[in-house]
Structure 1
Amino acid sequence: MTDDRTPPPQVWPTLRATDARALIRFLVDAFGLREIAVYGDGDVVEHAQLAWPEGGGIMLGSVRDDGSPWQLRPGGFGCYVVCSAPDALYRRATAAGATIIQEMNETDYGSRGFAARDPEGNLWSFGTYRGEPVA
Structure 2
Amino acid sequence: MMKNRSVPTDTVLPHVMYECIPDALTWLGRVFGFVEHYRYGERGGPVNGAQVYAGNACIQVSRARGFPTPMDLGHGTVYLTVFVDDVDAHYARTRAEGARIVEELNETIYGERQYAAEDLEGHRWLFSQHVRDLAPEDWGARSFKGSPMKVG
With the shorter chain as reference, the TM-score category is 0.7 to 0.9
Deviations 1:50-73 (A, max 9, x none): 0112x12100121114xxxxxx42
1:45 counterpart = 2:61: no
Map residues 1-135 of structure 1 onto 2, 5 A cutoff. 10-40=11-41, 44-53=46-55, 55-65=56-66, 72-75=67-70, 76=76, 77-129=78-130, 134=150
The one-letter code sitting in structure 1 at the alignment partner of 2:27 is: F
Q: In angstroms, what is the RMSD of aligned CA positions? A: 2.4
The residue number in structure 2 matching 1:69 is: none
The answer to whether the 8 Å contact 2:99/2:119 transfers is yes
Question: Counterpart of 2:69 in structure 1: which amino acid?
Answer: P
Contact 1:11 1:56 in 2 (8 A): no
CA contact (8 A) 1:10 1:56 kept: no
> Residue 79 of structure 2 contacts residue 125 of structure 2 at CA under 8 Å; is this kept in 1?
yes
Unaligned 5+ residue runs, structure 1? 1-8, 66-71
SS of residue in 2 equivalent to 1:22: helix
Structure 2: segments with no counterpart, 5+ residues: 1-9, 71-75, 136-148
Which protein has greater RCO, CA pairs closer than 8 Å, 6+ apart? 1
Whole-Å separation in 1 of the counterparts to 2:69 and 2:98: 19
Identity %: 32
Matched residues, number: 120
Runs of 4+ in 1 over 2 A off after TM superposition: 40-45, 75-78, 129-133
Quick check: which has more Rg, 1 or 2? Answer: 2
Helix, strand or coil: the match of 1:38?
strand
